[in-house]
Amino acid sequence: MKARSSETRQEFARNTTNSIRELFEQYVVPSYARFDLVLERGQGSHVWDANGKRYLDLGGGIAVCALGHAHPEITEALIEQSKKLVHTSNLYYTEPQARLAKRIVDLTAPGRIFFCNSGAEANEGLFKLARKFGQDQGRYEIITAFDSFHGRTLAGIAATGQTKVKKGFDPAVAGFKHVPFNDLDAPRAAITKSTVAILVEPIQGESGVMMATPEYLIGLRKLCDEQNLLLLFDEVQAGHFRTGKFHSWQRILEDGETDSLPDGISMAKGLGGGFPIGALWVREKLADVLSAGTHASTFGGTPLACAVALRVLDVVERNDLAANARRIGELLIDRLRRMQGKYPRVVREVRGLGLMIGIEFQPDLRAFAREQKSPAIQVVDRLHEKGVLTVPAATSVIRLLPPLNLSESEADEGLHAIEEVIAAFAEQEQEKE
Ligand SMILES: *Cc1c(COP(=O)(O)O)cnc(C)c1O
């Protein structure tokens, strides 16, 4: 009887999964290639699908769920604030927005905050800041890096240094130029009398976790000072304590002098721990560039979003999750590098800082050739079978972007599954055709 009822339950779950998929196929714009998983609930670093299967979430909703899922303090902040005020518009002052702005400035450097709702929007704010700054001199051009990612709005895809996001959306927004990342001569050579800013991700996420060197960031600062350009950092993915400091550039430069960087910073993903919020910081001397009436967002900085973001920062600071991100990140990177040493035919490189980690696979594995999907997607699929969620990047990199409160035993659980997948690839390399 027991077997029968669990069989029925499984069939019920299968039907639920199928009917949800059918609704998607019929009613949702098919702009995403989704994995075949219907996620139903989460707790901490784990989520469960509609079949009741449990997964360790090492993707964190793409670097968003800073405290994992269903964190009681996020729930409490949502409930408390929603009983008072959810939204007012920016026609009025509210306390949570004021407090969050001060908090981000304290974590960054003297400056001002503009609130919005997403990473793309935060970058749009930076583009407008740059154009307004250069307007009187007829300067508008922003230099960005190849393989960068800055969001999916029209200006975002123009800024992004990857052709695949631009295809089909011509004409591109004017005024963006791309140069190689981590190369100081390239932006210097690209500067014209129209150039007004340089925008980079201190750690490129979408293209597979590529880190800027300290020399590069410091060199960009010097170049921008020389040429009167704004230096803008996109911290949407790498920021919010993921690398062990609030911003990833603070971590990259922690052994040196960090006072002079940058002029503007975009933020979003992990800032609200899953509640949508975006923000940009501008250096104090630029505080008046976006003057009254020049930029706005109806939803930007709602009391609810800001109350949640404040609570996320409270929890991160109280539990010193920056230190946890650093420690667990080092543990993961160390163990993954050992796997690379053991299976060099399978793993090409392990890169990362804190809990932003990329594992690059050898793209020419025999197993990969058997399927149409990219190597990255195939690895992510295999990890799903083992009960672990990760995020693909580029063609043969998977990313780990787990909650900042990931425990050592959860890290072990993830490493165990990853090693099993790597070992299976290694074994398949040995097999005769
Ligand atoms: C995700 C991301 C964005 C875009 O953020 P959205 O919230 O999806 O608009 C921009 N820049 C970087 C570096 C990102 O990782």
Average pLDDT estimate for 396-417: 98
Ligand 1 atom nearest residue 276's Cα: 7
d(CA 96, CA 387): 38
Q: What is the DSSP letter of 270?
A: G
- Return the pLDDT at 1: 47
Q: Is 415 in the pocket of ligand 1 (CB under 6 A)?
A: no
For residue 13, what pLDDT band results from cuts at 50, 70 and 90? confident
Q: Note whether 366 and 249 are same-domain residues.
A: no
- For residue 272, pLDDT beyond 90: yes
Q: Is ligand 1 within 6 A of the CB of residue 205?
A: yes
Q: Please tell me the predicted confidence (pLDDT) of residue 4.
A: 59
Indicate whether 258 pLDDT > 90.
no
Q: Are residues 42 and 171 in the same domain?
A: no
Could you say which of 260, 291, 318 is where a domain stops?
Answer: 318
* Ligand 1 close to Cβ of residue 151 (< 6 A): yes
**Centre of ligand 1 from the C-alpha of residue 384, in Å:** 24
Per-residue DSSP letters for 346-366? TEEEEEEETTEEEEEEPTT-H
Beta pairing partners, 397: 360, 393
Mutation test of ligand 1: which of 269, 299, 356, 401 has the most ligand atoms closer than 8 Å to its C-beta? 269
Cα 42 to Cα 72, 404, 410, 425: the distances in Å are 12, 16, 15, 30
Q: Is the predicted pLDDT of residue 432 greater than 80, yes or no?
A: no
Q: Are residues 264 and 331 in the same domain?
A: no
Q: Is 314 found in the same domain as 209?
A: yes
CATH value at residue 358:
3.90.1150.10
Give the residue from 255, 284, 318 where a domain finishes.
Answer: 318
**pLDDT, tens digit, for every residue of 310-353?**
999 999 999 999 999 999 999 999 999 999 999 999 999 999 99
pLDDT tier at 407, thresholds 50, 70, 90: very high
More confident residue, 256 or 56: 56
Residue nearest to atom 15 of ligand 1 (CA): 237
- CB 378, CB 361: distance < 8 Å: no
- Range with the poorest average pLDDT among 191-200, 257-266, 287-296, 401-410: 257-266
Number of independent structural domains in the chain = 2
Identify any residues that bridge with 275 across adjacent strands, giving them in sequence order. Answer: 273
Which tokens in the block code for residue 216? 């590069």
| Pocket test residue of 149, 233, 235, 247 for ligand 1, highest count of atoms within 8 A of CB | 149
Using CA positions, which residue lies closest to atom 6 of ligand 1?
119
Range of the domain at 134: 72-318
Average pLDDT of the segment spanning 188-216:
97
Of residues 257 and 358, which shows the higher confidence score?
A: 358
pLDDT for the residue 260: 67
In a domain, 390, yes or no: yes
Query: Is residue 293 located within the same domain as residue 369?
Result: no
Mean pLDDT of 1-30: 83
Whether 328 and 280 share a structural domain: no
Sign of CA dihedral 391, 410, 254, 111: positive
Same domain, 55 and 83: no
> What is the position in ligand 1's atom list of the atom closest to the CA of 205?
15
Looking at every residue in the chain, the average pLDDT score rounds to 96
Mutual angle of helices 303-318 and 321-342, in 10-degree steps: 70
Tokens standing for residue 88:
């007012």
